[in-house]
Amino acid sequence: MQIAFYAPLNPPAGTAPADHRDPSRLLMAALVRAGHAVDLASDFRSYDDDGDLVRQLAQRDEGVALARMLASQWRSGKRDRPNLWFTHHVYYKAPDWLGPLVTEELGIPYVIAEASFAPKQAGGRWAMGHEATADAIRRADMVFCATRHDVIGVESLVLSRERVIRLHPFLDPAPYSRANGMREEYRDAIAGAFGLDAGVPWILVASKMKTSDEVESFRVAATALASLGDIAWRLVVAGDGPARSGIESAIDAALPGRACFLGDLGFAELAPVFAASDLYLWPAINETYGATAYEAQAAGVAVVSCALRGVPDSVADGQTGIRVRPGDTAALAQAVRALLLNSSRRSAMGRAAMAFMDAERSVDAAAIRLGRALARFPGGLAKT
């Protein structure tokens, strides 16, 4: 099937067929692996972070004009006519001005992946985007939802729940599994470069350092670790952002002499750091699903996190890591202590985590799920 792909929030970056950390590229790669031909319909970005009505009106008008132009090109044969339109990530700050209009004019199915609908945004600064998102979800022939939270919002808008399908977030585990295969070499190199003792467990935290929720996650992690001063471990911190200075100062104050700060790392550097670590700790406060927990598990590292939002679907409690009640810092510390003192259990969880990511949260697993779902549409059964 020929698919027109569009991402109003973050258009796919670069020209590579798949970027290991670009969700839109990964989704395109999964669709291709499912046997479909995928064409990027447009790189038009409808995102507005400021609630600026003038900008939103201009984006709407630009989007409508672009949609009409695309439909005209496809009708005239100037572009290969798609059998289906697929939009990735629609919400009130990044509505889809293209898909509904194009699919109506061409008479083709309209599919959305990772749609979010928040009733509390009605009437606010993004009211226009909120209403456009609701309209898009109502029009969609199929909506893939990444989390249980998203399912609740989407199901309130659709007539048939059969249109709503779970598609968990996923990644390409290959770079992480390769890094895991070179764990000892990477560990020795990192220990030498940053003065770390390779003979004690390393607890990794890796995140951007920008939002208040990220700052709070770092604070909670440091508070939990402060009660573990009687056992040996080092905290390895990777990340950068406007709040970096304050985060690093707070960690040093709470955990004197325990933390090593690696700063901002590119993907090629970060995958080895995940693989070289012994445990991944991240409270994931208000995160959609905890993306870095996926990376840690793909690298064979057990995770300790809080059972918030999408985390219960991301970390298999007792198998690939330990989840604790949100806000229970004592339970978080207890879970870290238990795994620090039981290396065989840590290793078993790490192996289970790699298997889980490969079987359930990989591009290949997503391709199977997408292929089965899209087979419902005329011409949707791809040749494999």
**Any idea where the domains of the chain sit in the sequence?**
2-170+362-374, 174-360
Whether domain 174-360 has CATH 3.40.50.2000: the reply is yes
Angle at 252 between CA 247 and CA 258, to 5 degrees: 125
What is the model's pTM?
Answer: 0.89
The Cα–Cα gap between 240 and 81 comes to 43
- Answer whether 40's CB lies under 8 Å from 120's CB: no
CATH class of 2-170+362-374: alpha beta
Instruction: Tell me the backbone φ, ψ of residue 233, rounded to 5 degrees.
Output: -175, 160
211-246 pLDDT, tens per residue? Answer: 999 999 999 999 999 999 999 999 999 999 999 999
Note whether 2-170+362-374 and 174-360 share their fold. Answer: yes
Provide the pLDDT for residue 15.
43
Give 48: exposed, middle or buried? Use CB within 10 Å, 0-12, 13-18, 19+: buried
313-334 pLDDT, tens per residue? Answer: 889 999 999 999 988 999 999 9
